[in-house]
């Protein structure tokens, strides 16, 4: 079973608003490390080289916050009760 198959076993309940928001002034060069650091692969580079982020599917591991510190985010919190990831461990 590969990583994507394992991630697909999890259940994710989205919120109406994002629980993690990348700051508008965050350095793109600093965010690039998250392309490989986020275990869910939620940070991606688009065709213009800009780092994009979709919080849906977040594993709530905190890696992005530790790697890029709070300055890179205008909001970083855990999802509200009843929302977010439910691990099913394959």
By CB under 6 A, residue 62 contacts ligand SF4: yes
Of positions 42, 51, 68, 72, contacts ligand SF4 by CB under 6 A: 42
By CB under 6 A, residue 31 contacts ligand SF4: no
Alpha-carbon separation of residue 41 from 35, 57, 76, 81, 84 (angstroms): 7, 9, 17, 23, 16
Question: Token pair 């350095």 is at which residue?
Answer: 27
Size of the site for ligand SF4 (CB under 6 A): 12
Minimum CB–partner distance for residue 20 and ligand SF4 (Å): 6
Q: What letter would DSSP give residue 29?
A: H
Q: Residue numbers of the site for ligand SF4 (CB under 6 A)?
A: 20, 38-40, 42, 58-64
């Amino acid at each position: 079973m590969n990583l994507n198959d394992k991630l697909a076993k999890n259940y994710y309940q989205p919120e109406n608003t994002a629980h993690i928001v990348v700051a508008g002034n965050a350095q793109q060069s600093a965010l690039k490390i998250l392309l490989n650091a986020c275990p869910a692969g939620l940070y991606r580079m688009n065709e213009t080289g800009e780092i994009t982020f979709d919080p849906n599917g977040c594993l709530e591991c905190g890696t992005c916050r530790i790697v890029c510190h709070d300055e890179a985010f205008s909001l970083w919190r855990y999802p509200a009760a009843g929302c977010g990831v439910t691990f099913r461990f394959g």
